Structure 1
Amino acid sequence: MFTKFFWTIRALLYSPFFGKMGMPSYLGKPLFLMGIKRVFIGKKVRIFPHLRMETHQEGSIHIEDDVIISQNVHITSAGNLSIGKSSLILANVFITNIDHDYQTIGQHVVKQKYHVKDTAIGENCYIGMGAAIMAGTVLGKQCVVGANAVVRGTFPDFCVIVGAPARIVKKYNPDTQKWEKWKE
């Protein structure tokens, strides 16, 4: 509790440097922040230590209300990246909307152009430990992403996504009100 008091003070001190910092929110000691004038954080957002968050070019990051971001998370954007309200992102997760071109032989990949595809995480999603949410991913409401999943593509509301590459293994059935195995 005492630690979170200091994290709240840190959020207040950092708030003028963000595009928006809703209160009450708290921010554990970040590892790296870049371009945060284009980062918009809602109310009651809890960010644990060692966050790396960066925007490039005209990219933006929108984190809605009541989101929890665990430690050692890396979020990078050169386009539109959004995280829906009440989502939980566990430790060691990577979220991006950037792919690097690699076509030019003999030129460092970092010096080649970006391929940007908007990325959106729906509301009330659960992103498991070590997952990678890649450029162009769109998760519907209340999706569950398994640990170490590599996610790319569009996924509907109420599904469980696992694997590398990620695929749907369960969906919520509103008729039976149960999570059921998914058969393609």
Structure 2
Amino acid sequence: MYFKFFWIIRAVCYKPFFGKFLMPSYIGKPVYLHGVKNIFIEKNVRLFPNIRMEVHGKDASINIGEDVGIAQNVHITSGSNLNIGKSSTILANVFITNIDHDYTTIGVNILKQKMIIKDTEIGENCFIGIGAAIQAGTILGNHCVVGANSVVKGIFPDYSIIAGVPAKIIKRYNTQSGLWEKTNSEGTFLN
């Protein structure tokens, strides 16, 4: 646990460079940070080593809510406002973005083509499994669970369990029965 002491020291040193970095939050040694003045971190956020966060554009931001835990080797990139709701947990090797790249101009490197920005939001109390990819245009409601290695794109209601490639809803919490119940891929409960 002594390593967390160094992470706290690092947070104190990095704090002036971020748009907001409330304590007690801490950060392990990052791989790459870009546009840190537009990264806003609430209190009790735990950022494990090898995180990569990129903000592209002066009006873009990454907003990480209170009590969020982000494991090692996570890559978050934003070309507008990307929000991660409070008390969410993001496991290792996850990729989250609100940027797609145009590819339609033949003979031009895709990274040099126009960025296509689509809102991406992660609700409160979400759990993102190891190796998941949250693509541009994804809106996760509150208390959603994303299965390991899932590729997620779309809008998902509160209390959904999402898994697969491409990811689909496989269960939802039924507020009437008080149970997690199987659904079809659109989230309609199966009887």
Output the TM-score relative to the length of structure 2.
0.95
Task: Tell whether 2:7 aligns with 1:7.
Answer: yes
Aligned residues: 184
* Corresponding residue SS for 2:111: helix
SS of the residue 2:24 aligns to? coil
Give, as a single letter, the amino acid of the residue that structure 1 aligns with 2:118: K
Check if 1:129 corresponds to 2:123.
no
Distance 2:107 2:116 in 1: 19
Give deviations 1:136-176, integer Å, cap 9, x for gaps. Answer: 11000000000011111110000100011110000001222
Q: Distance in 2 between matches of 1:171 and 1:76?
A: 29
In the TM superposition, residue 177 of structure 1 has moved relative to its aligned partner by 1.5
The superposition leaves residues 41-99 of structure 1 with CA deviations (integer Å, 9 ceiling, x where unpaired) of 00000000000000111320000000000000000001110000000000000000000
AA in 2 matched with 1:92: N
Match of 2:42 in 1: 42
Aligned residue number for residue 80 of structure 2: 79
CA distance in 1, matches of 2:146, 2:40: 24
Amino acid of the structure 1 residue aligned with 2:138 = T
**Which residues in structure 2 correspond to 1:146-157 (within 5 Å)?**
146-157=147-158
1:56 maps to 2:56: yes
1:167 partner letter: K
1:88-115 deviations in whole A, cap 9, x for unaligned? 0000000000000000000000000000
For 2:91, the equivalent position in structure 1 comes to: 90
SS at match of 2:148: coil
Cα separation, 1, equivalents of 2:68 and 2:80: 20
Task: Pick which of 55-64 and 39-48 moved more.
Answer: 55-64
* Cα distance between partner residues in 2 of 1:21 and 1:49: 17
- Which residue number in structure 1 is paired with residue 25 of structure 2? 25
Distance 2:34 2:113 in 1: 20
Query: Which amino acid in the other structure matches residue 141 of structure 1?
Result: N
Letter of the aligned partner of 1:26 in structure 2?
A: Y
1:120 is paired with a residue whose SS is strand
For residue 171 of structure 1, what is the amino acid of its counterpart? Answer: R
Letter in 1 for 2:14: Y
User: Which residue type is aligned with residue 166 of structure 1?
Assistant: A
**Aligned mates of 2:116, 2:65 — CA distance in 1:** 25
- C-alpha displacement at 1:120, in angstroms? 0.4
The DSSP-based 3-state class of the residue aligned with 1:104 is coil
Give the alignment's TM-score, normalised by structure 1. 0.98
Amino acid at match of 1:86: S
Task: Classify the secondary structure of the residue corresponding to 1:135.
Answer: coil
